[in-house]
Amino acid sequence: DILFALVHAGAGWYKFRWIQGFEVWSFIGGNIFICFFVEPSRLYLGYTGNLGEGVTSLFLFVFLSLFCLAFLGIEIAFLNVRDGFQP
């Protein structure tokens, strides 16, 4: 997870060198939020739900996984629609 966070922060810094604007900051902030808050809790819920056979933990694990995928899909859609997101 630490490597994932470092790669995410490095990619955000690399992108910000050329691209500026409110939309970009919101996506970078969303990526950092997912990286440091959602992803560790998602992994914890998946681990505990699998060990304890907890249906609620596994449901939250799947829900958070779909949330991450939805955020990625929205980011890719904006990347294709707006020219300002590309260097």
Neighbours of 6 (CB within 10 A): 11
For residue 41, give the nearest of 25, 21, 57 by alpha carbon: 57
* pLDDT given for residue 18 in this prediction: 67
How far separated are the first and last CA of the chain, in Å rounded?
Answer: 28
Q: What is the mean pLDDT of residues 33-56?
A: 83
Q: What is the mean pLDDT of residues 28-47?
A: 82
Q: Global pTM?
A: 0.64
Residue 33 clears pLDDT 80, i.e. is over it: yes
Residue 86 clears pLDDT 70, i.e. is over it: no
**CA–CA separation, 62 and 65 (whole Å):** 5
* pLDDT given for residue 52 in this prediction: 83
Handedness of CA 43, 44, 49, 52 (dihedral sign): positive
Which one-letter DSSP state was computed for residue 35? Answer: I
